[in-house]
Amino acid sequence: MILARKYRPKKLNEVIGQPTVVQTLGNALTSKKLHHAYLFAGQLGAGKTSVARILAASENCSATDDVLHPCGNCELCRAVFAGTHTDVSEIDAASNAGKVEQVRELKNSANYAPMDGAKSKYYILDEAHRMSPAAEESLLKLLEEPPKRVRFILCTTEYQHMRSTIQSRCQVHEFKKIYWREIARHLEMVAKQEKLNCQPEALNLCAKIADGSMRDGLQHLEKLINFAGGQELTGKLAQEVFGTASDLVFYSLIGEIAKEGAPDATTGYKIINDLLVSGMGANQILEGISEVLRNILIGVSASACGDLILVAEEAKSRLKELLRLFKPKMQALLGVMEGLAKVRMAVEQGQTLDIALQMWFLQSIFKFQKGG
């Protein structure tokens, strides 16, 4: 079974990384004050369609009156979560509702009462920003005077392209990128459920390259499982599959900046070169370095930082050593972080990543040697 489908949330409290959305919609369900139209905006894989289905199941579940916990097993719930219930229509706006004729058909359908056991009919429009101007105009009239017991949920990855008059008729919820640590924790739970033998480093890599998408994180894990063919899911295998680098590489690079004794950039330059030829993108490399610097900053400035730092077991000793070296030189650490931010800006303005990183690395050594 596809992991992204198997572990798709079926209750609001199972939705990860969207606490504001969950609390707001949960309170609306409990108080029976659901809006007639919602606009869910956010990147792919953040949970928009899942939450839309959960709302439909929560309000219509035939097996329980607990709106926050639909049973997920009754005929209605199963059909809703499978996307096949006749009273809960899922429409791809790019191909169907993008045309005004289909919106007119939707408008006629909405005037009829639910036919298959639901209390309220739901229309879930995916990629709503792809509708034609004529279709938007027709939908706008429907949103202004909605039929009773009908709810509309518009999902979009490009909120800025949605017509302002449609936005104003909807209750808007923004779905944030899911922090990679939350994705990693969820992947760990999935790994335990699937009885997988895997290293935390492998799960961390799957989560990091998901770029805030839980669905992508699960798909990366599934790809790694297929590649491993029954072997242990190791960080090394993950690096091979995804063309990325272990956290240890980034810890080694920062370790070369804080190396005791006479400054020597040779090893640091070699690490930078290995990163560049590994196939990793500039953003992945810069994010990897930033993550290590962030962990050091928290470690040297916060007495209780256990909940704020997630480090693979094999990297803990490296981090402890870097904390020892940077603790008396916090000003230097801030300078190194500021320098990395300038690297990002320089690359965006067209400078090559290799030169930008080499300059940053050498300047960072000098900053550390001077203590600021």
Tell me which residue of 121, 80, 74, 130 sits closest to 102, measured CA to CA: 130
Q: CATH top-level class for 247-370?
A: mainly alpha
Q: How confident is the model at residue 300 (pLDDT cuts 50, 70, 90)?
A: confident
CATH code 3.40.50.300 region(s) in the chain? 3-175
Q: What's the pLDDT at 64?
A: 86
CATH code 1.20.272.10 region(s) in the chain? 247-370
Q: How confident is the model at residue 33 (pLDDT cuts 50, 70, 90)?
A: very high
Q: How confident is the model at residue 301 (pLDDT cuts 50, 70, 90)?
A: confident
Mean confidence (pLDDT) of the chain: 88
Q: CATH top-level class for 180-242?
A: mainly alpha
Q: How confident is the model at residue 303 (pLDDT cuts 50, 70, 90)?
A: low
**Rounded mean pLDDT, 66-77:** 90
Q: How confident is the model at residue 270 (pLDDT cuts 50, 70, 90)?
A: very high
Q: What's the pLDDT at 178?
A: 93
Q: What's the pLDDT at 102?
A: 72
Q: What's the pLDDT at 197?
A: 92
Q: How confident is the model at residue 308 (pLDDT cuts 50, 70, 90)?
A: low
Task: Assign 173 to helix, strand or coil.
Answer: strand
Q: How confident is the model at residue 359 (pLDDT cuts 50, 70, 90)?
A: very high
Task: Assign 252 to helix, strand or coil.
Answer: helix
Task: Assign 331 to helix, strand or coil.
Answer: helix
Q: How far apart, in whole angstroms, are the C-alpha atoms of residue 70 and residue 131? A: 32
Q: What's the pLDDT at 1?
A: 61
pLDDT score of 7 more than 90: yes
Q: How confident is the model at residue 310 (pLDDT cuts 50, 70, 90)?
A: low
- Crossing angle for the helix pair 214-228 and 235-242, nearest 10 degrees? 110
The 3-state secondary structure of 63-78 reads CCCCCCCCCCCCHHHH
Q: What's the pLDDT at 282?
A: 87
**Rounded mean pLDDT, 83-106:** 77
Phi-psi group of 212: left, alpha or beta (phi > 0 → left; psi -120 to 50 → alpha; rest → beta): left
**Rounded mean pLDDT, 50-61:** 94
Q: How far apart, in whole angstroms, are the C-alpha atoms of residue 169 and residue 146? A: 11
**Rounded mean pLDDT, 355-360:** 94
pLDDT score of 88 more than 80: yes
More confident residue, 169 or 280: 169
Q: How far apart, in whole angstroms, are the C-alpha atoms of residue 215 and residue 3? A: 9
- Beta-sheet strand order (sheet of 121-126): 88-92, 121-126, 150-156, 37-42, 171-175
Give residue-wise pLDDT tens across range 245-254.
Answer: 777 889 999 9
Give residue-wise pLDDT tens across range 101-140.
Answer: 777 777 778 878 888 878 899 999 998 888 888 888 888 8
Give residue-wise pLDDT tens across range 222-253.
Answer: 999 999 988 899 888 888 888 777 778 899 99
Q: How confident is the model at residue 306 (pLDDT cuts 50, 70, 90)?
A: low
Q: What's the pLDDT at 188?
A: 94
CATH code 1.10.8.60 region(s) in the chain? 180-242
Q: How far apart, in whole angstroms, are the C-alpha atoms of residue 219 and residue 5? A: 10
Q: What's the pLDDT at 141?
A: 84
Whether 152 and 146 have beta carbons less than 8 Å apart is answered as: yes
Q: How confident is the model at residue 209 (pLDDT cuts 50, 70, 90)?
A: confident
Q: What's the pLDDT at 140?
A: 87
**In this structure, CATH architecture of domain 3-175:** 3-Layer(aba) Sandwich (3.40)
